[in-house]
Structure 1
Amino acid sequence: MSALSVCSSCPHASGCSRVSKCLYELAAEDYDKKYNSPRFMTPGQANNVIRKMRGGMTLKHLHQADESGLAIVSASKLRKHCATYPEYGAEVDRLAEINRRKADENKGSKRRNSTHCKHGHPLSGNNVGVHIVGKCRGRYCKTCQKRRGATGGIMRADVLLKVKDLLSRGVPITQIQSKALGSKYYAVPSAILATYRRANPEFNLFVLDSIKGSNCRGQQFRHQRIRSARAREEANDYYRIQALVPMHLPDYVRDDITQNVMTALLEGSLLRSDVRSRIGRFVADHQRMFPTKYAKFGNATLVSLDEVMFDTSSTTRGDTISEGLWS
């Protein structure tokens, strides 16, 4: 084994004995000619990394270039150095985790602790609003928001052409200026469009002429939705009422009773709230109009005159009557 060169400033005094080479020798042997730099850190560079990290610097800033255009250490060099010297690597990992947590805690602290917006308006009371995007919450100044909404912005030439083309094709203006609707025709915010219309009367007349029939189309769509909702509600009412009719009755009887209740609802002679309490009366009225086999005429059970008397013939009960019932 060759004699080891031990440097008092080397951070790996014990690590060199395990590697069997001094860090200076290791860096000199593993040299990257392309970048004109050793693939291992020098003792001074290794000490500088630890000093910076103990001062709170994260790995992200270690690998970023400073004002001189050079980074303290590249990510690949640091990984290789830590793999060769595990004790040094463990210390780097420990400091990196501590600094990462501190950096996360300090994220957004400037905005979070601010008491006024950049225009000097207080971020408190009725002047502050909260917007939520996913899991993130943020404050905004309501005064600045009203000012932006009133003044709008500049309408670009290409956007103006797109707006004119969409209006000419009959696209509703709400889909052109409202991004919240998720329309594929969205082209410009409503504030910018309103500002441009106020400043350009000729363009405003073009917009008014293009949307003059939109109200009619909108009412047609709205009435169609109302009619569809009413039809769905009536269908739902039918099955709700049918569920109130006794289940032991035949299906055709239950349908007749349900239709009678629906007719009473449409005529206004029955309130929706009274259906449950009056369903028994509708059942009784139907049974009275169409008696079942349990109804009697005197002491005899009512029978049908159309009933076939014998299985081997088509003779009905009415065919056997020789004298008129009411003669």
Structure 2
Amino acid sequence: MPQPGLSDAKAARMLEGFRAGHTMRPYNVKQAVFRDYCDAHPEYAKVAQPLLQANYKAANARKGERHRSMTHCRHGHSLADAWVTYQNGYSKRDCRTCWLLRSRRGGVMKPETFRKVEQALINGAPIGQITHGHPMGGRPKDLSLKLVDAMTFARKRREDPVFDALVREKIALSRARGRQFALVHRRTRIIRAQNDTFSVLRAVVPMSLPRDVRDDVIGALSVAMLEQHWNEEQVRQNVRAFINAHYRQFTKFGPISLDLPLFDGSSATLKDTIVRGLWD
């Protein structure tokens, strides 16, 4: 049956309640019934409706007061540095200490998840892929490869010695493989550096030189480049001097003889400078 209209006596009691700070909730009166009564009694509405609106506003402000006034969580941790988040239009506080403790403790690994993780380890999947989605080989992160949270994985290792032994074995194999890769990469870098050095030298030494002369000049430049730490520009500046130095070792008839006098009228020869100084 429809609710009967609001009586004058009850309306008067409600008005007294509005003045005391109440809302309509204690009186079990529907909004439509109250609205009809206000439409029929404008003078009553002028007094009751402003009071009711003010009471609703105050009641909304009091909602959550118990939680807002809390200084510590139920576990006794301070909420001074709590995380404040917003959900469904409301703000909430999360205890930072409780969150960290839960995170470090980790969850319980489900049996079906454990079987997937164990099989992935046996197949050689890295732990980073299992716990974070980082595939082997430095490929981009793929969360579809993630099987379990890292803290849950760590908790399973603490609680299951057999699983921990399997993980340790795979870590040892991974480190050995990493050392092999590092050695290969180191050798590759050395070879590339050498190739880069000779590429620079081949580029700066003129191609018009005879092959044997060009090879000798490149060899001499490579020694100077390594000993004096020359860059490409310095090599370009000195390449002509090395070419001239090479040709000074020869005459138009061939290599200079070691028996050739050092200068006109000299009894000393080039051979003498090999075993002793010029002025000895």
> What TM-score does the superposition give when structure 1 sets the normalisation length?
0.39
Higher relative contact order, chain-length normalized (CA < 8 Å, sep 6+) = 2
More helix by percentage: 2
> What TM-score does the superposition give when structure 2 sets the normalisation length?
0.44
